[in-house]
Amino acid sequence: MTKPVIGIIGAGKLGMTLAKLGQNVGFRINIAGSKEPDKIRLAVSVLAKGATPMFVKDVIKSSDIIILALPLSQYRQIVPDQLKGKLVIDAMNYW
């Protein structure tokens, strides 16, 4: 059985920590932040080495499990229809 691909939307402290933990146990991790993938590539290479920075729409498309690691104030950026058929874990918070 192959492990599902995990997509993380949010490249802040929580998103990077979850990406690193996922990488450590052998999951393939896709991650998106509020900036373009090239803008978070350096941070990802240091804090979550091996995770793949992408645009949000690409993370959703290419991942089986989606973790929402955004500040709660950003929830309107998520388009619910795009998440149809995905397992979604909501870790949004007030920070």
Q: What is the pLDDT of residues 76-86, one digit of tens each?
A: 888 899 999 99
Confidence of residue 53 (pLDDT cuts 50, 70, 90): very high
Residue 71 neighbours by CB under 8 Å, 6+ apart: 10, 12, 92, 93, 94, 95
pLDDT(57) > 80: yes
Average pLDDT score, the chain:
94
Q: Residue 1's pLDDT is what?
A: 74
Q: Residue 21's pLDDT is what?
A: 97
pTM: 0.93
How many CA atoms within 13 Å lie on the side-chain side of 67? 22
Q: Residue 66's pLDDT is what?
A: 98
Confidence of residue 60 (pLDDT cuts 50, 70, 90): very high
